[in-house]
Structure 1
Amino acid sequence: MKIIKWKHGDQPTVIDKKIAIAIGNFDGVHKGHVRLLEAAKVKAHENDLAFGVVTFDPHPRDFFNFNNSSFKLLDRQEKEYQLAKIGVEYLIIIEFSEALKNCTPNEFLSDILYQQLNVVKMFAGANFRFGKNREGTIQNSKEFSQAIGLEIITVDLEQTKSLDGKDKTVISSQSIRGLISNGKLETANTLLGRNWCVTGIVKKGKQQGRELGFPTANLDMGYFLKPPFGVYVTKLKIIDHKTNKTTNDWLPSISNIGKRPTVSGDDINIETHVIDFQNHGVDINLYNKRIKVELLKFLRPEIKFSSLLELKKQIVIDTQKAKKFHSLK
């Protein structure tokens, strides 16, 4: 997959053939996104077009909130990995800026997509809106786009069984965020089509887990969505920095998400302990390595214990529960 970064005012991209794109933010790359992407891929191949994705960075929600929000389901590298798995040939990342924000819908379609990016087919969900003040819709833009040689194709949004009392609910990143935030992890994983994961570079902490006999690989939750604080059954993979591919089989693990109140923690981290690390033939030193931690099951809320000894006793109990869960899988 070729990654192209483009901003308003840049020269046209150097894609050697006309392109069909799916457009959106694709946070999560969930089942609904996959439906849209697969539809675009099929039509691209049928029409001898390149298959691409147009997305935005920063996420518009970040742009309007001055990069001060923590809501993302995936980091950039994991989104790229998921899109590449689907078969995206070109990932075009448009910088979301004041200039882009002020483009009219017609300017966005004509000046940017058609003239600059060589797009001749655009696939989007029925609710996709674009252009200044989000005035552009699929329906009111079809006549103009056809006149300039850009075909817009609407893809029906993927739906699931009722989540809120309605007959059907559209699968969206927002609905998945709501499920995760409210502790409904298994349902969220179903709508994602895979287990939700947190990824990043392992940082060196205070090594208190090692002192307790349970060394952990620590990731800063940063701009990730925050699920309920507590202990989760998880599994972990190590990722190669250069290829973005995993380098080992899944390792059974257990994780704590939160502020570690027993040891007066401040930052929100996910601390992951690989169960029986020495039996998996993997280098135990994970510092500065990129890892992926998938969340499988919530075990208990985060608790402030009266002592480190009480904390250690509870960790033993939690780890035994996680071992049992993994043994049944």
Structure 2
Amino acid sequence: MTTGFTVIRDTTPDAAIPRGAVVAMGNFDGVHLGHRAVIAAALQMGRAHGKPAFAVTFEPHPRSFFSPNSPQFRLSDEASKLRLLAGTGLDGAVVMTFDKGRAGTSAQDFIHHDLIQRLGISGIAVGYDFHFGKGRVGSPSLLVSEAPRLGIEVDVQAHVDIAERPVSSSAIRMALAEGQIDDATEMLGGPWFVTGEVIHGEKRGRDLGYPTANIRLDKTCGLKHGIYAVRVGRGAERFDAVASYGRRPTFDNGAPLLEVFLFDFKGDLYGCKLDVAFIGFIRDELKFDSIDTLIRQMNEDSARARAVLAAAPDAFPKLGEIG
């Protein structure tokens, strides 16, 4: 794991910001292969000049600010995004608060005040379609045109394609919404994961012989309801598991809940924070006419999940520690 990953925020004193760093700038939702190309360019630039490399990102996601009544399914919340960024080898991240003031800052002011004066960057890498500043008039071409005068290096990364399809956060959201876990994993460069605290449920799983760790996901989560082969992380520990995400139509058709059954595990997980990585889709969520039928299906689901996980022994997101 990466250690010493530094997070710089708007409240960080200027004196605590390393001067001359190279930055990769973007929203980085999911930290997918397209994002990783930008990050790799910043890392290479930093190594070439002996400078640290940081990500520059924005919280909340600008789309949440501009469309507060239309919340978007985020692939990674702020904490998860930072852990993913820390796992790339970056030295840290600059998290800029996206509020009314920042939304109203012109692209030129953002470059000169935020990037040059405050951060003192020596280079920047961005994706071909990244825009910034009031009215989104800031662009990669603007950075390139300003670079000679500012004395910085600019690297613009083209889109990353898989099977002639551009990798994007929206494409990954769509894949997850359709249960296409393999496609999402390929575009992300590793399994999609969620993190949550285990809460008390109705204890039905225990009565069925499948005691589950229950996690309430964000209400905007767009993952397809169904049964999944998953791998669970508790700190450095890893467990194979089968999980259900949905409304439990056989019982109450309630609010969506992630219910995870860890194979060959005994212990109390209540209150624990778990990482759950989605490795494979098993089937759609179904309503069963009897408990016996449900249990038989759960047995089949578990066997299929074990087989999927056996074929993916190293599948887990590469996460770093936040310093």
**Distance of 2:303 and 2:16 partners within structure 1:** 55
When normalised by structure 2's length, the TM-score is 0.88
Q: Answer yes or no: is 1:267 the counterpart of 2:255.
A: yes
**Distance of 1:310 and 1:117 partners within structure 2:** 61
Pairing partner for 1:302 from 285, 290, 299: 285
> Are the counterparts in 2 of residues 29 and 82 from structure 1 also a CA contact under 8 Å?
yes
Give the gaps of 5 or more residues in structure 2.
313-323
Give the gaps of 5 or more residues in structure 1.
162-167, 240-246, 279-283
Pairing partner for 1:156 from 155, 158, 162: 158
> Are the counterparts in 1 of residues 53 and 91 from structure 2 also a CA contact under 8 Å?
yes
* Aligned residue pairs, count: 308
Pairing partner for 2:126 from 112, 124, 127: 124
> Are the counterparts in 2 of residues 258 and 270 from structure 1 also a CA contact under 8 Å?
yes
**Distance of 2:308 and 2:151 partners within structure 1:** 55
**Distance of 1:219 and 1:206 partners within structure 2:** 12
**1:226, distance to aligned residue in structure 2 (A):** 1.9
* Distance change (3 Å), C-alpha of 1:198 and 1:128: same
| 1:16-165 mapped onto 2 (5 Å cutoff) | 16-66=18-68, 69-161=71-163
Q: Percent identity?
A: 29
**1:185, distance to aligned residue in structure 2 (A):** 1.4
* Distance change (3 Å), C-alpha of 1:183 and 1:53: same
Pairing partner for 2:217 from 206, 216, 221: 221
Letter in 2 for 1:290: K
Q: What do residues 117-160 of structure 1 show as CA deviations (whole Å, max 9, x unaligned)? A: 22221110111111011111111343334323343321222222
Letter in 1 for 2:262: V
**Distance of 1:105 and 1:317 partners within structure 2:** 56
* Distance change (3 Å), C-alpha of 1:324 and 1:170: closer
Letter in 1 for 2:285: E
Question: What residue number does 2:315 align with?
Answer: none
Further displaced range: 95-104 or 141-150 = 141-150
> Are the counterparts in 1 of residues 279 and 308 from structure 2 also a CA contact under 8 Å?
no
Letter in 2 for 1:4: I
Bigger relative contact order, structure 1 or 2, given CA contacts below 8 A and separation 6+? 2
**1:287, distance to aligned residue in structure 2 (A):** 1.3
Superposed CA RMSD in Å reads 2.0
Question: What residue number does 1:203 align with?
Answer: 199
Residue aligned with 1:262, SS = coil
When normalised by structure 1's length, the TM-score is 0.87
> Are the counterparts in 2 of residues 202 and 288 from structure 1 also a CA contact under 8 Å?
yes
